[in-house]
Amino acid sequence: MAGLFWRFCMYSFLGYLLERLYAAATRSPRQVRKGFLLLPLCPVYGLGVLAVEALPPALTGNFFSLALWGGLAATAVEYAVHWAYDVGLGVKFWDYTGVWGSLNGRISVPFSLAWGVLLAVLYPWLQPRLAEAAASLAPVWTWAAVPVAAVDGAVSLALLWRYHDPEVLTLVAWPKHEKKAA
């Protein structure tokens, strides 16, 4: 179970880095894109890769099947996470409206293809290394990290529930949100 937690965190962190690179490359006005208040994690990436891990090996055994089935699994998670944030918390972290092949602004064909290609290229090389790194961590690190992640996640969800704005997870946005609360 500890390995699962650490792989979720590692892929969520790598997703955070990917989001930062994408925001910088596209000169996005939203430079901070994440899903936790303090921890640099984008949980949709961690959940997406865990969904790929859950696929039967026959569906991930070669480049093309991993690109197809992994991309579909990651896209399904992306849709579900967007739906949960939108319906449950009234928050949209991303919106693909206007992107070709968009489905309710939650997923799109170009990004689904990108997830498939990224998975097919990186996952076979990265997964064994991250699994080994996760397995090598002493239990004390897990005992310390799980409560920190749980509290950060709970506080993040509470803030999103209250303000319905993903910018609330950016510490520099606090003055704006303190005025709203007053």
Domain layout of the chain by residue ranges: 2-181
What one-letter code names the amino acid at 125? W
- Non-local (6+) Cβ contacts of 39 within 8 A are 148, 149, 152
What one-letter code names the amino acid at 120? A
Which pLDDT tens digit goes with each residue over 57-66?
999 999 999 9
- Rounded to two decimals, the pTM is 0.90
Which pLDDT tens digit goes with each residue over 44-86?
999 999 999 999 999 999 999 999 999 999 999 999 999 999 9
The predicted structure's pLDDT at residue 173: 53
Which pLDDT tens digit goes with each residue over 104-162?
999 999 999 999 999 999 999 999 999 999 999 999 999 999 999 999 999 999 999 99
The predicted structure's pLDDT at residue 99: 95
Distance between CA atoms of residues 84 and 82, nearest Å? 5
Q: In 3D, which of 127, 171, 141 has the Cα closest to residue 10?
A: 127
